[in-house]
Each structure stands twice: as C-alpha cells, then as structure tokens.
Amino acid sequence: MKKILVVIMAMVVAVLAGCGGQPAAKEASSPGAEKVELHVAAAASLTDVMKELVAGYEKEHPDVRIVCNFGSSGALQQAIQNGGETDLFFSAAQKQMDALEKDGLLAAGTRRDLLQNEVVLVVPKEGGRDITAFPQVTGADIKHIALGEPKGVPVGQYSEEVFTKLGILDAVKAKAVYGSDVRQVLSWVETGEAECGVVYATDAAVSDKVRVAAKAPADTHKPIIYPAAVLKDAKHMEAAKEFLAFAASDANKKVFEKYGFEVK
C-alpha cells in the first residue's frame, strides 16, 4: 500500500438522503401542515447511533424529516462557516465547536457537552499483529499506521497528542496514512491496508473485523468530549432545539451506551 494523504475537503459533499434511511416524503402529515426538513451535521463516529436516534424521533414526529450530513468534524465546521445549510451540529471535539462559537454562529444557550469517548489502537481481527501497547507501532513489522488527518479530524488530533506524549510522533509519522474521517481509518484496518490504526472505542465496537489492541492512557490526550449546539441561522430553530433535547434525554442514554458512548 502506497502512502496516502487524503486532504480533507472544506465542504462535505456526501449528504445522505436521511439518517434513518427513510424516503424523502414531501407530503405533510396532515392537511395544510408543512413538513419540516431538519439538517443535522454529525461527526462520522456518530453515524450508527444517530441513525437509530433519528428513526425514533421521526416515528414520534411524522411532521419532521431529518437529513444527516456525516463527516469529519473539521469538514463539517468548514461547511457551516461557508454557508452550508445546517440546523444542528454534533462535533467529536471542542475545537470545531469553539471555532463556530468564536465566529458567532451558535444559537445562544444551546451548546452542551453531550458525550465522552476513548481512543484505542486497533488491528485486523484475523491475522492482526500481536500488539498490546501504543509504543509497539514503531516496530519493524508495522509498515502502515492509519490515522485521522490531524488538521480536521479530531481522532487524528487525539492520536498525535498520544504519540507526542509517548515521544514517538516522528517515528509514527513516517508510517502514517491519513484518512478523511475516522470511518476511513477504520476501513483501512478492516481490509488490512494498514497493520493498525487509531480510532474511537465506539468505532471499534461496531466493527466485527477489528479488535482493540490497546487503549490510550487518559493522561496522554485531552478528554474526548462531544459537544452539540443549534446554529444561530437554523431555518427550523425550535425543531432543532427539540431534537437536541430528545438526543440528550435520559430516555436515549441507553441508546448511546449501546454504541459505547459515555453520556455526560
């Protein structure tokens, strides 16, 4: 595998038809009622849990259709700053949300820390290297380490923090292949294109093709907190606030936990 550098695009072009995979019904749920189309930008690591939450919300609110845009938090941040239509943003790190808040793009009083995650080192489940700690990635038998592109992918930023703390960042960079989001990193390890990679614990949990070789010590990186907020220019402000409250409700705590997240 040749060393690959995937430069993260400023605009996210892959907009899914709807998180829950439901058809784009245009008819209102009742005569004279207008169908609300809510646009949600969410970190790639939230893909699976968000689809389940959306399906549940749309079932309870037939007058609302939610369209999800999944990608790296950095790409989503840039898309929002460039005027991309977004009502609600779920980020995988504080950095991207901080940037939007600094630019005055968040609706006042809506930002909240929602979830917490962990960084793990994964290897292919079948035939993967016998690794039990992060420093072992510098071994001669490791040719490619899959990482998130650190400029815009939070898991890549956390990875660099870990390797810097361990004093092996330069050695790791020499073997690194960079993905545009955490799911691409996971995919490279699943297919064996990289001998190992760094992803979130929640991404490892949804794959049956990788195994966790090691967890990053908590003192090697900043706490992995997922903030969420409604955008100031949201076209459907009240609907966005209602969906955020729904996602953060006690009733949905078990949904997040099922996918490995710790609810704040």
Q: Is 200 annotated as a binding residue?
A: yes
Nearest to 159 by CA among 221, 217, 83, 97: 221
Distance, in Å, from the CA atom of 174 to the CA atom of 154, rounded to the nearest integer, reads 20
Q: Is 45 annotated as a binding residue?
A: yes
Nearest to 176 by CA among 162, 195, 191: 195
Is 204 within 8 Å of 120 (Cβ atoms)? yes
Q: Is 91 annotated as a binding residue?
A: no
Angle between helices 94-102 and 154-165 (to 10 degrees): 120
Distance, in Å, from the CA atom of 246 to the CA atom of 127, rounded to the nearest integer, reads 42
DSSP summary character for residue 58: H
Nearest to 106 by CA among 77, 68, 72, 148: 77
Which position has the token pair 């058809």? 23
Which position has the token pair 């810097």? 164
| Longest Cα–Cα distance in the chain | 67
Q: Is 212 exposed, middle or buried (0-12, 13-18, 19+ CB in 10 A)?
A: middle
Q: Is 259 annotated as a binding residue?
A: no
Annotated binding site: 45, 73, 182, 200
| Binding site feature residues for molybdate | 45, 73, 182, 200
